């Protein structure tokens, strides 16, 4: 930390302490939980099949709370991952050639959701499945 303007170094640490004490503890712990929850395996992988209008699976599960859904698309045809149900309606970016479409839900509630490709005609052709959250 040389060159930060304080020879003792205590100025930076006391500022950090006063900053953290000014953040409500509930908010701070909720933010920490959201970050650690996503880092601790609340990532659900639902990849696109190597050909056709399909995902590699038609069902998936997740724990309630913060969830990230990732869908790698190996095809040259563009696909995305989207999630709907129980008040959720989120759509990731359309990707192709190994790209990854991602949907992040900060607080997914227990229930049943539909994951699907939102490209016109793809869901109707069967590119969808069920996500069960407990």
d(CA 68, CA 131): 12
Q: Which CATH architecture has domain 41-133?
A: Sandwich (2.60)
Q: Inform me whether the pLDDT recorded for 128 exceeds 90.
A: yes
Q: Is the pLDDT of residue 91 over 50?
A: yes
Cα separations (Å) of 104 from 23, 31, 52, 55, 70? 24, 15, 25, 18, 9
Query: Do 115 and 121 form a contact (C-beta atoms < 8 A)?
Result: no
Q: Do residues 74 and 50 touch, judged by C-beta distance below 8 A?
A: yes
> What is the arithmetic mean of pLDDT over 14-18?
39
Task: Round to whole Å and give the CA distance between 64 and 109.
Answer: 5
Query: Is the whole model's pTM more than 0.75, yes or no?
Result: no
Extents of the domains making up the chain: 9-40, 41-133
Q: Which helix (H) or strand (E) holds 64?
A: none
Q: Which tops the pLDDT comparison, 132 or 35?
A: 132
Residue 100 has pLDDT above 80, yes or no: yes
For residue 41, give both structure tokens: 């395996």
Q: Residues 24-48: pLDDT tens digits?
A: 444 334 444 444 444 444 999 999 9
Alpha carbon distances (Å) from 102 to 24, 70, 90, 98, 129: 30, 5, 10, 13, 16
SS3 120: coil
Residues 65-85 have pLDDT tens digits of 999 999 999 999 999 999 999
Which pLDDT score is estimated for 106? 92
Which one has a higher pLDDT value, 8 or 123? 123
Q: What pLDDT, on a 0 to 100 scale, did the predictor assign at position 22?
A: 40
Three-state DSSP at 105 gives strand
């Amino acid at each position: 930390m040389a060159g930060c303007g304080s020879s003792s170094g205590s100025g930076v640490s006391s500022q950090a302490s006063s900053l953290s004490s000014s953040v409500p503890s509930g908010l701070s712990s909720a933010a920490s939980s959201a970050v650690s929850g996503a880092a601790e395996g609340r990532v659900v992988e639902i990849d696109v099949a190597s050909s056709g209008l399909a995902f590699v699976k038609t069902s998936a599960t997740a724990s309630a709370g913060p969830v990230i859904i990732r869908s790698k698309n190996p095809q040259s045809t563009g696909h995305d991952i989207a999630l709907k149900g129980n008040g959720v309606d989120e759509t990731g970016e359309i990707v192709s050639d190994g790209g990854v479409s991602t949907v992040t839900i900060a607080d997914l509630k227990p229930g049943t959701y539909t994951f699907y490709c939102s490209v016109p005609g793809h869901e109707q052709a069967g590119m969808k499945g069920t996500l069960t959250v407990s």
